C-alpha cells in the first residue's frame, strides 16, 4: 500500500505544513536525498504542543507530541515533494526533547514519531537510524523538535 493510501487507511490527517520560523529552507534535496529541517509539534489550528517533558508533560504526552511532530514533517514532505509516495525510506531522524535534567526516557518520547513512520512506510523503509537527546530548552518552549533525512525517488 502506498504511503498516501496508508495515511487514508489509518484515518490520519496532516496539519498544514508549518510556516518557516527563520532563515532556512524547510527541505533541501540533493540527488535522491531530502534533508528536512527541524519541526515541532505543529497542530492543525496553528498552535504547538509546548512544555517540558518531566515537568509540564508526562511521557505519554511527550510521545504524543513526537507523533504530532511526525505529522508536521509529513505535511512538509508532501508540500515539497507533491506526494509522500516519493519517499523510499527514512534514513535518519534526530529527535530533541525539551525535558528536565532528571528525565531519562528521550528515546521513548521520540518513538512517537518513529512508530508513525513505521506505520506509513513499514518496518524496513519507515525505520532508519536515529538519535534521541534531551535539551534544556527548545524554541518557543515546544515539547519536541525532530529533523529527518529521507531517500526519495
pLDDT in tens, 89-108: 999 999 999 999 999 999 99
pLDDT above 90 for 64: yes
Identify the band that residue 21 occupies on the pLDDT scale cut at 50, 70 and 90.
confident
User: pLDDT tier at 20 (50, 70, 90 boundaries)?
Assistant: confident
User: Residue 76 — pLDDT band, cuts 50, 70, 90?
Assistant: very high
Nearest residue to 124 (alpha-carbon basis) of 88, 95, 153: 88
- Contact 27/37 with Cβ under 8 angstroms? yes
- Going by their DSSP bridges, the two strands 129-135 and 87-98 should be labelled as parallel
Q: Residue range 9-25: average pLDDT?
A: 92
Beta strand pairing call for 87-98 and 144-152: antiparallel
Residues 35, 26: Cα–Cα separation, whole Å: 8
Provide the 10 A C-beta neighbour count for residue 148: 28
Residue 69 has pLDDT above 90, yes or no: yes
- When the pLDDT of each residue in the chain is averaged and rounded to a whole number, the result is 97
Residue 86 and residue 121 in contact, taking contact as beta carbons nearer than 8 Å: no
CATH topology of domain 3-152: 60s Ribosomal Protein L30; Chain: A; (3.30.1330)
Amino acid at each position: 500500500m502506498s504511503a498516501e493510501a496508508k495515511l487514508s487507511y489509518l484515518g490520519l490527517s496532516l496539519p498544514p505544513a508549518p510556516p518557516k520560523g527563520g532563515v532556512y529552507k524547510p527541505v533541501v534535496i540533493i540527488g535522491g536525498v531530502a534533508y528536512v529541517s527541524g519541526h515541532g509539534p505543529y497542530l492543525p489550528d496553528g498552535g504547538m504542543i509546548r512544555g517540558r517533558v518531566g515537568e509540564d508533560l508526562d511521557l505519554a504526552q511527550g510521545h504524543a507530541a513526537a507523533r504530532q511532530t511526525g505529522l508536521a514533517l509529513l505535511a512538509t514532505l508532501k508540500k515539497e515533494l507533491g506526494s509522500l509516495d516519493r519517499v523510499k525510506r527514512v534514513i535518519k531522524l534526530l529527535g530533541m526533547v525539551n525535558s528536565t535534567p532528571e528525565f531519562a526516557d528521550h528515546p521513548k518520547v521520540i518513538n512517537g514519531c518513529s512508530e508513525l513512520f513505521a506505520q506509513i512506510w513499514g518496518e524496513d523503509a519507515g525505520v532508519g537510524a536515529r538519535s534521541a537527546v534531551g535539551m534544556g530548552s527548545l524554541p518557543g518552549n515546544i515539547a519536541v523538535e525532530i529533523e529527518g533525512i529521507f531517500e526519495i525517488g
